[in-house]
């Protein structure tokens, strides 16, 4: 997968894209990253990329020319139609399902704004997706794009040491992940659940399924309205509702 990022602050990406799983993805040639300062595509002699909004108002608006030119430059050799993603609080809220969708693409382009907003022609005629991390505002799109890139790249084949790791992550199955324990079995008088030490894999899987469901019901009950529940989980749901009420 090829990933291009358009930002006025490319130095922000150095540590993130060259460490941990992102570094491994590049070493395995599962993904390549390039961060471009779209100020380089400004036609203004002062390299200005923003201007005052027509009609007045606070703040500055990113101009269309440098972003259109930057996207054209990074996509002109693309072998497939790239997804051009605008990081914006007005966009679709990012989910694991969206990460899985983007992980199937060959080329992603992220546009990171850093001012009051974008010229509307960028939204209407340049991008394919507008994405938001949630109902809050960040200084710019850089931090949000880093989070999305991380969540997408870790889904690429063989990037994680165990391909099942991503499959069982929270939200991948529609519900939160079950509790995890490791050695020692006893710590400060706190015990690991006996079933996990039993060696009975069927019982362990049953316990994990139940715990994952109960954790979701307690912490994020709204997820259960859309999750594809098994018959056993539906039974647990009814039991939980009765106990709660």
Which one of 169, 177, 209, 210 is the catalytic residue? Answer: 169
Question: Angle CA(31)–CA(88)–CA(23) in degrees, nearest 5?
Answer: 20
Q: How far is residue 132's CA from residue 141's CA, in Å, rounded to a whole number?
A: 9
Asked if 116 is an active-site residue, the reply is yes
Which one of 100, 105, 116, 210 is the catalytic residue? Answer: 116
Confirm whether residue 133 is marked as ligand binding.
yes
Asked if 169 is an active-site residue, the reply is yes
Q: How far is residue 174's CA from residue 95's CA, in Å, rounded to a whole number?
A: 10
Which one of 37, 66, 119, 154 is the catalytic residue? Answer: 154
Which one of 83, 89, 209, 220 is the catalytic residue? Answer: 89
Confirm whether residue 68 is marked as ligand binding.
no
Confirm whether residue 189 is marked as ligand binding.
no
Confirm whether residue 137 is marked as ligand binding.
yes
Task: Count CA within 13 A, CB hemisphere, residue 63.
Answer: 16
Confirm whether residue 199 is marked as ligand binding.
no
Asked if 177 is an active-site residue, the reply is no
As a whole number of angstroms, the longest Cα–Cα distance in the chain is: 71
**113, 141 contact by CB (below 8 A):** yes
Backbone angles phi, psi at 202, to 5 degrees: -65, -45
- Cα four-point dihedral sign 13, 16, 19, 23: negative
Catalytic residues: 89, 116, 154, 169
């Amino acid at each position: 997968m090829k990933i291009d990022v358009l930002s006025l602050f490319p130095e922000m990406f150095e540590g993130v894209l060259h460490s941990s799983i992102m570094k491994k993805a590049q070493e395995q040639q599962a993904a390549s990253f390039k961060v471009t300062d779209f100020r380089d595509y400004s036609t203004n002699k002062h390299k200005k990329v923003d201007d005052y909004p027509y009609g007045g108002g606070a703040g500055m608006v990113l101009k269309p020319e440098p972003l259109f030119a930057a996207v054209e430059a990074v996509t002109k050799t693309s072998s497939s139609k790239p997804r051009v993603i605008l990081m914006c609080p007005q966009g679709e809220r990012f989910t694991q399902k969206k990460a899985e969708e983007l992980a199937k693409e060959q080329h992603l382009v992220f546009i990171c704004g850093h001012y009051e907003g974008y010229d509307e022609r960028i939204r209407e005629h340049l991008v394919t997706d507008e994405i938001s991390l949630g109902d809050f505002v960040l200084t710019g799109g850089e931090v949000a794009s880093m989070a999305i890139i991380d969540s997408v790249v870790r889904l690429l084949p063989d990037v994680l040491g165990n391909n099942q790791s991503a499959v069982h992550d929270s939200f991948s199955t529609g519900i939160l992940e079950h509790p995890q324990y490791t050695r020692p079995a006893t710590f400060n008088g706190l015990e690991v659940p006996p079933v996990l030490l039993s060696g009975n894999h069927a019982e362990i899987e049953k316990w994990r399924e139940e715990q994952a469901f109960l954790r979701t019901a307690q912490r994020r009950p709204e997820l259960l309205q859309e999750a594809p529940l098994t018959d056993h989980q539906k039974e647990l749901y009814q039991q939980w509702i009765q106990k709660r009420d």
